[in-house]
Amino acid sequence: MNNEDLLDLSSSLKTNVRVKYDLRTLVRSEFIYDVDPELDEKTSGLSHEAYLEQFRKRAEAKLIKTKIIYKLYNREESAQGGAAPLDLTKNEQLYLNKWVSDIKNGKDRNLMNLRDSMVPQIPTKLTVGDLDAKTLYALNSVSKVSIEREKHGQFSVSDLVVELSHFLDEDVVNKVETEIFSDKLRKEWGLSKDFKAVETRNKEISTVLN
């Protein structure tokens, strides 16, 4: 879009712009999870506040799942002569077991709500001031990030997780969960090993299933 405000009046005068758009016409994807029906308040019945609350909870779950997948992938690479493995903590192993079990055994679990597997009931209420020194050091190791307990101690960790979630590859988590669900269908219905709900199978999927 070209700037037609040659006199730069928009920065001096109060202006209001009303934009009308149809979300569905802006989304083009072959994957069902790329189209979020909850973004449409009219059809979903979710208010903006309720949607943000749900987004916060999903962001927390995505962060945990991504960390587990990364560690499992790292373990596979290490077995093939790579760097030292990153072992799962006890809590991460428990989370992994419940995650896989929920998708495979959950009666209400289906393709439309796989991403809600292991989503917490409420977002974390922690603040930056509650984080330990090791976590703050890890965050400050990211380029152009500077978080100080004195200045940012009252900031919400939930807000921080939401921002971090935008940098995580959601497609990997989606494919892992869809493949776990596909594995369940193959066993329940006696389907061939070639049946899968996603087009490709990657190493991350194999590490979680195994």
- pLDDT tens by residue, 54-83: 999 999 999 999 999 999 998 888 878 777
Residue 39 is assigned to a structural domain of this protein: yes
Residue 42 is assigned to a structural domain of this protein: yes
Asked if 65 and 173 touch (Cβ cutoff 8 Å), the reply is: yes
Which residues 6+ apart lie within 8 Å of 90 measured at CB?
none
Domain that holds residue 141: 32-209
What was the pLDDT predicted at 126? Answer: 96
Q: Is the pLDDT higher at 158 or at 51? A: 158
Residue 148 is assigned to a structural domain of this protein: yes
Sign of CA dihedral 47, 122, 73, 135: positive
Q: Is the pLDDT higher at 38 or at 98? A: 98
Residue 91 is assigned to a structural domain of this protein: yes
Share of the chain above pLDDT 70, in %: 73
Whole-structure pTM over 0.85, yes or no?
Answer: no
Residue 136 has pLDDT above 90, yes or no: yes
Residue 167 is assigned to a structural domain of this protein: yes
DSSP 100-111: HHHHHH-TT--T
Q: How confident is the model at residue 8 (pLDDT cuts 50, 70, 90)?
A: low
Residue-wise burial string across 22-53, b where 16 or more C-beta atoms lie within 10 A, e elsewhere = eeeeeeeeeeebeeeeeeeeeeeebeeeebee
Residue 182 has pLDDT above 60, yes or no: yes
Residue-wise burial string across 56-70, b where 16 or more C-beta atoms lie within 10 A, e elsewhere = bbbbbbbbbbbbbbb
CA 207, CA 194: separation in Å to the nearest integer?
18
Residue 136 is assigned to a structural domain of this protein: yes
Number of domains in the chain: 1
> What average pLDDT is seen over the chain?
82
Residue 75 is assigned to a structural domain of this protein: yes
Nearest-5° angle of CA 40, CA 44, CA 49?
80
Residue 178 is assigned to a structural domain of this protein: yes
